[in-house]
Amino acid sequence: MATSFESALNTLPAELADAVRAQLPQPFTGHLSARDVTALEDASGLKGHELLLALLPLAASFSQAPVSHFEVGAIARGTSGDVYFGANLELAGEALFHSVHGEQSAISHAWLAGETGLKEIVVNASPCGHCRQFMNELNGAEGLTIVLPGQDNGHLHHYLPYAFGPKDLGVEISLMAASGQNMQLASDDQLVLAALEQAQLSYAPYSHSPSAVALECDDGQVFVGRYAENAAFNPSLPPMQMALAAMARHRVGFERIRRAVLVELGNGQISQASAARSALEAISPVELERVCAS
């Protein structure tokens, strides 16, 4: 069973737990502004990496790991100074490639919030090779610091020497860098338009097949995910998984999905439809609506 937020909060140092209860909005969905971070530092006496390491149990409490039962929490600090929590997500009974790693969750959280680069990733276990490769796609990856409990901090390329990345495939842009695709479709459906907006912001420099997913819940909340491609191909993060990870961070049950829309190029080299449909069928009876843009 996943650790509850309150149980995780009770593992924090008392001063920090009191400050979180007093200063952060509830329910907490995993975003701290730079001002929030400073306030928690002042209240707890923990500074910089010490604070984020202490907050890792809260990040791990967002985990949904029915297969591994191993809860991974990650915290990404954006160039703005804001921090973004993430956790691993697994779909019960489904192939493991549907999983979202904790680092991917935190990175996508920051990207969806408008960050264009990260300073550091704090995680409660050493990043796997998949995540190291995913992080190597980031804007500013050469300066990204990895922070782990009980270890010296190191740059990403300490953990991924002789890395293979975008430039090896002739790509000069990088994940989270300002970019956009011109995609057109005629619709007045607000959920379709939400997915279109995200698809235009997706990152697909290898397949040239931008895409995004928008999920509408029974209370009107909308959660989105953009495609995040990778030079090594397999570590790419599909848009459906990104949207589901966003729901998990808000602790919104997947049974509350009432509509699911995928927007992608009609003539793209690849399609996300079968992968998105497979992931959706694992957690909801709702049928995927595929809308093609030009």
Which residues are tagged catalytic?
A: 103
For the chain, give the DSSP string: -PPPHHHHHTTS-HHHHHHHHHHS-SS--SEE-HHHHHHHHHHH---THHHHHHHHHHHHTT-B-TTT----EEEEEETTS-EEEEE-B--TTS-GGG-B-HHHHHHHHHHHTT---EEEEEESSPPPHHHHHHHTTBTTGGG-EEE-TTS--EEHHHHSTT---GGGGT----BTSS-----------HHHHHHHHHHHT-B-TTT---EEEEEEETTS-EEEEE-B--TTSTT-B-HHHHHHHHHHHTT--GGGEEEEEEEEETT-SS-SHHHHHHHHHHH-SPPEEEEEE-
